[in-house]
Structure 1
C-alpha cells in the first residue's frame, strides 16, 4: 500500500523565517518580485497553451554540433528538447524486442500495476546496458551537460562537463487503453531540500533576493554540491542530472501516454520558489493575477506542493489548486510524436508528467536515460552503481528488490564495448 501524503510539519515556519532572515529586505523585495512574476506567468501561460506541442524544440542528433546560438538559447529557455535519430531505428527496435523477451522469460520480476506490469523495477537488461553504452547516447548527454556553466571567471573544481557518466534507471512498456495516474505534474531531484539545504537554496539565490530575472537554471556553482536527498527517500536521486531523459523504442505521440512538460524553466522556478511565502488576502481568490490580492506571509508551515511522506518529503507536486497561476491543465504540453531511436530530455527543474491516457494502438516503450556530468559526487555514486551492476542488484538510489542476477538475458560487462561507455559506467573512471 502506498504511503499517505501528509502536511508540512510545524517546524517549517522556522525554515521560512530562516530564509527571510538570510536575504536583506526579504519581504519588500520578494513582494515586488512576486507581483512581476504573476504578470509574466499570465502572459507566458497563454502563449504556451496556444502553441501546445509545437512549442517543444526538435533537433536532429547530426546537427547538435552546428546549432545556432539562438537555437541553443531557445532549448535552454524552454528546458526541454526532442533529439531525433540518436540511435538507428533497427537497433532501437531490437532493444525493444529484447525487453519484451526479458519480461516474458522472467515473470517474477517486479513492476506495476501488479496484475498487468508495465513499469518495471529493472535496471540491467541487455537492452538498457547497451543503450546507456551507445556512443551516440553518451555524445548527446555530453552535449546537454555543456549547456551548464559557471558564471564569470569562477571555476568549480573537479567538474568535467565533457565526461558523461551513466545513471541506471528503469523502463516502461505502456499498453494502450490503460489509465495512468502514477505520474502527475512534479519536479524531481529534490523536494523540501530546494529550500532547506542551504547549498541547494543557493541555486535560487537571485529569486530569493528579488532579482528573479537574473536567475540562471544552468549555473553550476551550487548545483554540484546541492544535497537533494536529506531524508534518504527511495527513488530520490542523489546524483546531479543536468537533464532527465528517455530513449524511445517505439512510436509514441500526444495522447499515447507520452511525456508532458511545462516549457519555461526560469519562470516556473521563480514562481514555485516564492509561492510558499504568499497567501491570498482575505476574500481574494488564489487564482487572482493581481499582485494587490496577495500578501507576504511566513506564519504558516505550508510549502505548496510539498508533502510529508513517512519520515521524508515528496514534491514539488504543483497542481491547479496549489499553483493555480501555472494553468497546468492547459500548459502541460505533450512532447511531439517520437520514433524508435529518438530521445526526449527535460531540465532537472522542469515540471513534467506522464499523460493519463494512451489512446494509441501500440505499446509505448521508453528507457529512462538522463544526462549526468562528471563531478566527484557523481563519480562516487557511479562506482557504487558499478558494484550493483556486477551483482545484479538495484542501483543505490532505488528500492531494494530481489535483483536480476538470476534473470535470463541480463546485461553483462561485456555489453559495454566503447572506452567512453566503460568510463561512464565506472570501469575506467577518470576525468577526460
Structure 2
C-alpha cells in the first residue's frame, strides 16, 4: 500500500467556493452556537471530570446489553462514557505483561524499535473478551438509521486493529486536541459531508451525531472503517495529571464549532489533512476550554468517545505507575467495514499494522519482523475470529430479514 495522496490546493479551493454562497446562514448559525457552547463550557468547568458519564459493567448487563435508559441521553449529549469493571483487573494486568514481553522482547531480539504494538496476543485477548464485546455492542446500539435502508448491523461488531500505550511516570508524551476519523473530508467528501448536513443548512441545533446514514458509505483516504466510537481499555489506573485522555464532552456543539469556525474565521489559514484534524488552542480555543480529564479509572475499565469528539492527552504524567491503555473502539457490521477486514486480515497475516496505518505510513511497521509470540488466527477465540473476519458471522432465528441480508452480504465479502 502507498501513502494517501490528495490535491490539497484544489480541494480547499472547491470547498471555499461551495460554501461561500451559504455564508450568511452559516454566520447566523455560528453566532447562535457561540452562545450555547460558552454556556456548556461553564458547566463542564464547574463539574470537571464528574461531567463525564459513568456506569458499571453490571448496569449494561442488567439492561439487556444496552446503556441504561437513565444514562442514555446524557451519554449521547456528551459523546462519551466510562464503563467500569468490564474486564477483571488481574486478567488485564496479566495481558499487559504479555503485551510487554511481545513488545520489548521482540525489540531486543530484532533491534526494531516500536512506539507501540498492534498484534500482541495479549491485545487480542482483550479485544475479544466477551464482556467487552457486549459493551461494544451497547455503544453501537446508540446509533440509528434515519434513512431506514442503511446496510448495517450494530449487534455484530467488527474489529479495527489499533495499538496500545505504555507510558512510564514522568515521561514526555501527550497530544494536542484533535479529532480523528478524517479531516478535510468533512467538507468535500460526497458522502461524508452529508453526515453534517444540518450544519451546512445553518441549523446546527438539528445535527444528529448518531445517525448512521452515510457513515457506512464514506470510504475515506485513510479512515476506511467506520468507528462509531473510539475507545480504550485501561491497563493501569489513570486520572487527572496521570498522563491520560482529556475529552471535550459536547459532541454536537463541538462538531458544529470546528466545522463552522474553519469556514467563517478569516484568520484560519491552515486546513486539516486527510488523516485527522488539529484542534489546537490557537485554532479552536473553545474546544480546549471544554477539555476535561476523564474520571479515575482502574485496569479493566472501558473509555469510549464519539468519533467526532475533540480530545487530547495530558502532557504531564505525575502518577507513581505507568499509564497504559489498549486502544479498542466500537464498530458495527456493514459492507464497508467488511471490505476493510479483507485488507486487515492480510496485514494481520503479515504481522503488520492495520490498513489505515499502513496507508498513512507507507509500510507494515516493525512488527513484520516480530516472530516471537506473533499470533495467528488459531490463537483467537470464536468471537475474535468473527470480529476479525476470519470466521463467518452466524445468522440466527432472531435476526430480522434486513440483518440476515446484511450478514450474508458481509460474509460473502469476507470470502464465506
Q: Is the 8 A contact 1:189 1:348 kept in 2?
A: yes
Cα distance in structure 1, aligned partners of 2:347 and 2:13: 40
Q: Against the structure 1 CA distance between its residues 170 and 155, is the aligned structure 2 distance closer, same or farther, given a 3 Å change threshold?
A: same
Q: Is the 8 A contact 1:379 1:429 kept in 2?
A: no
Cα distance in structure 2, aligned partners of 1:109 and 1:242: 38
Cα distance in structure 1, aligned partners of 2:148 and 2:253: 26
Aligned to 2:389: 426
1:129 and 2:124 matched: yes
Aligned to 2:156: 163
Q: What is the deviation of 1:313?
A: 4.3
Cα distance in structure 1, aligned partners of 2:290 and 2:286: 10
Instruction: Please list the CA deviations of residues 301-334 of structure 1 after superposition, one character each: whole Å capped at 9, or x if unmatched.
Output: x565x34xxxx545421122212333x1x42111
Aligned to 2:201: 209
Aligned to 2:167: 174
Instruction: Please list the CA deviations of residues 259-314 of structure 1 after superposition, one character each: whole Å capped at 9, or x if unmatched.
Output: 110000000011111112323xxxxxxxxxxxxxxxxx6xx9x565x34xxxx545
Q: What is the deviation of 1:139?
A: 1.4
Cα distance in structure 2, aligned partners of 1:317 and 1:110: 35
Q: Is the 8 A contact 1:170 1:367 kept in 2?
A: yes
1:61 and 2:25 matched: no
Q: What is the deviation of 1:359?
A: 0.1
Cα distance in structure 1, aligned partners of 2:110 and 2:36: 45
More helix per residue? 2
TM-score (norm 2): 0.85
Aligned to 1:409: 373
Cα distance in structure 1, aligned partners of 2:10 and 2:316: 38
Instruction: Please list the CA deviations of residues 219-267 of structure 1 after superposition, one character each: whole Å capped at 9, or x if unmatched.
Output: 01111112332xxxxxx43210000011111112211111110000000
1:247 and 2:233 matched: yes
Q: Is the 8 A contact 2:176 2:312 kept in 1?
A: yes
Q: Is the 8 A contact 1:77 1:266 kept in 2?
A: yes
Match of 1:81, SS state, is strand
More strand per residue? 1
Q: Against the structure 1 CA distance between its residues 88 and 10, is the aligned structure 2 distance closer, same or farther, given a 3 Å change threshold?
A: same
User: Which consecutive residues of structure 2, in runs of 5 or more, have no partner in the other structure?
Assistant: 1-7, 394-406, 409-416
Aligned to 1:387: 346
Between the two structures, name the one with larger relative contact order (CA 8 Å, sep ≥ 6). 1
Q: Against the structure 1 CA distance between its residues 133 and 109, is the aligned structure 2 distance closer, same or farther, given a 3 Å change threshold?
A: farther
Q: Is the 8 A contact 2:232 2:325 kept in 1?
A: yes
Cα distance in structure 2, aligned partners of 1:303 and 1:202: 24
Question: Once structures 1 and 2 are overlaid, which stretch shifts more, 89-98 or 394-403?
Answer: 394-403
Q: Against the structure 1 CA distance between its residues 331 and 111, is the aligned structure 2 distance closer, same or farther, given a 3 Å change threshold?
A: farther
Aligned to 1:220: 212
Instruction: Please list the CA deviations of residues 333-363 of structure 1 after superposition, one character each: whole Å capped at 9, or x if unmatched.
Output: 1111111111111000000111101001111
Instruction: Please list the CA deviations of residues 35-70 of structure 1 after superposition, one character each: whole Å capped at 9, or x if unmatched.
Output: 100111111111111111111111111211525423
Q: Against the structure 1 CA distance between its residues 325 and 417, is the aligned structure 2 distance closer, same or farther, given a 3 Å change threshold?
A: closer
Q: What is the deviation of 1:365?
A: 1.3
Q: Is the 8 A contact 2:234 2:302 kept in 1?
A: yes
Q: How many residues align?
A: 380
TM-score (norm 1): 0.82
Q: Against the structure 1 CA distance between its residues 111 and 313, is the aligned structure 2 distance closer, same or farther, given a 3 Å change threshold?
A: farther
Cα distance in structure 2, aligned partners of 1:417 and 1:173: 25
Q: Cα RMSD between the aligned structures? A: 2.4
Q: Against the structure 1 CA distance between its residues 110 and 164, is the aligned structure 2 distance closer, same or farther, given a 3 Å change threshold?
A: farther
Q: Is the 8 A contact 1:197 1:227 kept in 2?
A: no
Q: What is the deviation of 1:10?
A: 6.9
Q: Is the 8 A contact 1:191 1:228 kept in 2?
A: no
User: Which consecutive residues of structure 1, in runs of 5 or more, have no partner in the other structure?
Assistant: 1-7, 230-235, 280-296
Q: Against the structure 1 CA distance between its residues 57 and 109, is the aligned structure 2 distance closer, same or farther, given a 3 Å change threshold?
A: farther
Cα distance in structure 2, aligned partners of 1:313 and 1:199: 15
Q: Is the 8 A contact 2:377 2:390 kept in 1?
A: no
Instruction: Please list the CA deviations of residues 163-188 of structure 1 after superposition, one character each: whole Å capped at 9, or x if unmatched.
Output: 0111111111101101214x210000
